[in-house]
Amino acid sequence: MRIFSGIQPTGQKHLGNYVGAIRQYVEGQDRADAIYCIVDLHAITVPYEPDELRANVYDTTAVLLAAGLDPERCTLFRQGDLKEHTELCWLLSAVTAHGDLNRMHQFKEKSAGQRELVSAGLFLYPVLQAADVLAYRADEVPVGEDQRQHIELMRDIAQRFNERFGETLVVPRHRIPDVGGRIMDLQSPDTKMSTTLGSEQGTLYIRDPDKAMATKIMRAVTDSGSDVVRAPDKPGISNLIEVMSVFRGVGPEDVEQEFAHAQYGDFKKAVADAVVEALAPIRDRYQELQADRAGLEDVLRAGAERARSIASGTLADVRERMGVGPPD
């Protein structure tokens, strides 16, 4: 089995990234042929600074390695190093419905936030995302809940291609964690935790000092009640229960039972302790790695060579099936 997933090099990585994606990446390298991509081409679809983008790629690489990715057990590379992704994106756009792209929730959300230019790249983002995955004929894509719609679209694209041109692409399935697939902003628990769209105090960064992590959790918005239970009208406490469940490795119902008689303050303290215990070693290792850009570049370059050996074969097959270029 083969796994593929991509991660944006935008800003600092936070608790939501770790719970929803990074911990799945680490687990995946021990059960399959795992390929992970830092998607710098996706990052240019919204306003950005070139120097910051390059720095963020290295920053994200350091975080992934610090969290437990091992270049000897997985393939880790930078999307922009492989031209195969962009060419495959264009070819797949020929079997992608314009109406499907119009219905993408993330396009609507991100385009609404653009003050000057809503780029065509943002509109085609899901097609490039499909190319990222389909280039490697991946069976499984570990993602957060917010990416469910994009995975369904890439499945449709693969199926439509195969029906039109013959069996060529693997139709992937998503792997969304039952718990923690969507971690919410600590200050606005109705919105997803985000580097770009979230609040500073509501976003817990992996690079935060221990005290800052604990303070953000202790100040997390909750309701006026006192019961540590999940409920639609208790989004803040429900979010913290999910976080605790992930770091304890137990079900949310077990967390509710353990803290059935606790006050919110005591529960928040326990959550803060669990988060700091898990993330502090990753932060410390990250600080060691991020200073060695030459070493990080070596990892990305080696990963790109391995990735290209797979993606180039898929692209050649797609071109041949579609009648693009000279026949073999």
| Separation between Cα atoms, residue 309 and residue 49, nearest integer Å | 31
Question: CA distances (Å), 259 to each of 38, 127, 221, 223, in order?
Answer: 39, 45, 18, 16
Give the residue among 145, 189, 187 at the shortest CA–CA distance from 19: 145
Residue 103 is predicted with a pLDDT of: 83
| Separation between Cα atoms, residue 236 and residue 283, nearest integer Å | 25
Q: Which helix (H) or strand (E) holds 34?
A: strand 33-38
Query: Hey, what are 311's tokens?
Result: 């993606």
Q: What is the pTM assigned to this prediction?
A: 0.89
Domains of the chain: 2-175+292-322 (3.40.50.620), 210-288 (1.10.240.10)
| Separation between Cα atoms, residue 287 and residue 268, nearest integer Å | 27
Instruction: Tell me whether residue 228 is exposed, middle or buried, using C-beta atoms within 10 angstroms of its C-beta: 0 to 12, 13 to 18, 19 or more.
Output: buried
Is the Cβ–Cβ distance between 9 and 43 less than 8 Å?
A: yes
Residue 309 is predicted with a pLDDT of: 97
| Separation between Cα atoms, residue 246 and residue 87, nearest integer Å | 39
Give the other-Cβ count within 10 Å of 225's Cβ: 12
Give the residue among 135, 134, 126, 139 at the shortest CA–CA distance from 97: 126
Task: Give the sign of the dihedral formed by CA 225, CA 230, CA 232, CA 238.
Answer: positive
Helix (H, G, I), strand (E, B) or coil at 250: coil
> Over its length of 328 residues, how does the chain's per-residue pLDDT go in tens digits?
999 999 999 878 999 989 888 988 999 999 999 999 999 999 998 888 999 999 999 999 999 999 999 999 999 999 999 999 999 999 999 999 998 888 877 766 666 666 677 778 888 999 999 999 999 999 999 877 777 888 999 999 999 999 999 999 999 998 877 666 689 999 999 888 887 776 789 999 999 999 999 999 999 999 888 899 999 999 999 999 999 999 998 999 999 999 998 999 999 999 999 999 999 999 999 999 999 999 999 999 999 999 999 999 999 999 999 999 998 7
Residue 112 is predicted with a pLDDT of: 61
Is the Cβ–Cβ distance between 274 and 248 less than 8 Å?
A: yes
Residue 146 is predicted with a pLDDT of: 73
Residue 130 is predicted with a pLDDT of: 96
Residue 180 is predicted with a pLDDT of: 66
HEC sequence for 47-112: CCCHHHHHHHHHHHHHHHHHHCCCCCCCEEEEHHHCHHHHHHHHHHHCCCCHHHHHCCHHHHHHHH
